[in-house]
Structure 1
Amino acid sequence: MMDPVIAIDSPRNPRVQAALRLRDRDTRLDLGQTLVDGGREALRALRAGVVVETAFACRSLITGDEAVEAVRTLERDAVPIIDVSERVHDRLAFGNRRDGLVLVVRTTSAALDALEPGPNPLILVTEDVEKPGNLGAILRTADAAGCAAVIAVGGTDLFNPNVIRASVGTVFSMPVAAATADETMAWLADHAIRPIAARGDASTTYTAADLSGPIALVLGSEADGLSDAWLAPGIDGVSIPMAGSADSLNVSVAAAVLAFEARRQRDVARG
């Protein structure tokens, strides 16, 4: 039997305040929890088997199919749902979308050693890509392109609530890891995965490069590019030709261009 629904109308309620503290990165890391805002994101998290600590629902706002399905899933799994007012929901939620559902969930493992790349893997590696919108879009691209994993190098917060939203919840279904550059290089070498660095000065264009084998596409931030660790002579580089006045692409766009070219080459190789 489900616990009775608890109505909360004050943003000062202790449960609401505890959830709001998860907007702070250090608190998220200490507790191993994060916020999932939105019906689509919540449904993906639930389908990925994420453990829900607290579920806040504003019934008057839950009209979208995915939010309705997420609530049904919570009820089927006997997860207590805390009924909140619109003002409490709006305090908990991120951005302008009002799907009526906010979850507190346990974050999944981001350990590099937990990744299992499988046969002929395509990996995306990001270095110091700290903007949540960019990282979330890269995760969404990786999912769509059939990548085996995304590895975040540097100070990236994989479970920032805005990353979760920008990834439309794919951060929970996509294998992810956080590691240093040295750790990532060692892991790639151990699994016979060739790193390929996205570099504006590379003489080989991405369409001329062989991206059909086990590779890791490595992308740096737009501001600083890749660190020297990825510019060593033994690491191949590829460039994306630019026909206009701009000298670079948004990193999430570059990731999509490279990942789908790799996907195309693999499809051709399979016949």
Structure 2
Amino acid sequence: MPNHMWLRIESFQNRRVKEAIALRKSDERRNTGRIIIDGVREIERACEAGVLIEEVFYSPTLAPEKARQLVEMLAGRNVTILEVPKRLFEKIAYGEREEGIVAIARSPTFSLKELTLKSGPEAPLVLVVEGIEKPGNLGAMIRTADGAGVAAVVAADIRCDMYNPAAIRASLGTIFCLPVVAASSAEVLEFLQQHALKCVAARVDGAVAYFEEDLTGPTAVVLGSEAEGLSPIWRQGWVKSVRIPMLGRADSLNVSVAAAVLLYEARRQRMVSGVSAQV
């Protein structure tokens, strides 16, 4: 293992340490084009997706065997390994999550123009989320989308940093496993029309219950923020509106829960109709 790729850092004043801590702020991530990834599973999934890992902070006293194996693999790929003591690692790591490894990577850049929906035995299913403010909700929806076999997640007029560490963590790293793009709501609407996707928007005043709508064809499921719901642009005549029946005092579910209900209803319908590519 090349010695120049494995460095030991002891000082809180080290430039690399300060830069890593600064990446917890969205402005720093935006200005540098870099992101910070916590955890073995998340880093592994980023690597599998071809995300460029620039350097890794590693604390041997905290790291389980899987983390040590990952560090060795990354070192073999000429990624700079920065070994740090526990006290220093705790300042770099996210919250109380200390798996002994944190990666610094280049932020993926994937635009709506680059998004292609592959043809196959199953019609594409796309998740569109508009105006999402909480990165944890975004990450949770991406995790659900990955589990439900969604072709892509499109963030319309997003109000949080897509690669916020909380979004990466909530997605369990699946944010790197499927196409996730951001665009304006107008651009997204145009994209859906161009690709002949049936647009099904969740609203508290939706015309029909979600399970009454056919979700087996090429479909985009659209959800808005919990605070404001969907913007008026989604009240186009060709956009279908559905509701999730609420039997208690609340008029809506958490947006990530609503996404799970709708996406797995689409999965159920496709399995029942025999068009699902998965069992």
Relative to the length of structure 2, the TM-score reads 0.93
Give the alignment of 1:246-261 within 5 angstroms: 246-261=250-265
Structure 1 residues 69 and 170: alpha-carbon distance in aligned structure 2, compared to 1, 3 A threshold: farther
Q: Post-superposition shift, 1:64?
A: 5.4
Give the alignment of 1:98-247 within 5 angstroms: 98-119=98-119, 120-154=123-157, 155-247=159-251
Q: Post-superposition shift, 1:18?
A: 1.3
Structure 1 residues 227 and 64: alpha-carbon distance in aligned structure 2, compared to 1, 3 A threshold: farther
The alignment covers a number of residue pairs equal to 270
Deviations 1:17-59 (A, max 9, x none): 1112212212212221100011111111111111111111001
Matched, 1:90 2:93: no
Structure 1 gaps of 5+ residues are none
Identify the residue that residue 34 of structure 2 maps to in structure 1.
33
Aligned residue type for 2:64: T
Mean CA deviation greater in 110-119 or 124-133: 110-119
Q: Post-superposition shift, 1:213?
A: 0.7
3-state SS, counterpart of residue 23 of structure 2: helix
The percent of aligned pairs where both chains have the same amino acid is 46
Task: Check conservation: 1:37, 1:101, Cα contact below 8 A.
Answer: yes
Identify the residue that residue 18 of structure 1 maps to in structure 2.
19
Deviations 1:88-109 (A, max 9, x none): 2111111211101011101112
Relative to the length of structure 1, the TM-score reads 0.95
3-state SS, counterpart of residue 268 of structure 2: helix
**Root-mean-square deviation (CA), in Å?**
1.4
Aligned residue type for 2:44: L
Aligned residue type for 2:151: A
Deviations 1:72-97 (A, max 9, x none): 32133232211011122111111211
Identify the residue that residue 55 of structure 1 maps to in structure 2.
56
Q: Post-superposition shift, 1:122?
A: 0.5
Structure 1 residues 245 and 69: alpha-carbon distance in aligned structure 2, compared to 1, 3 A threshold: farther
3-state SS, counterpart of residue 139 of structure 2: helix
Q: Quick one: distance in 1 between partners of 2:150 and 2:110?
A: 16
Q: Quick one: distance in 1 between partners of 2:194 and 2:109?
A: 20
Deviation above 6 Å: which 4+ runs of structure 1? Answer: none
Aligned residue type for 2:233: A
3-state SS, counterpart of residue 23 of structure 1: coil
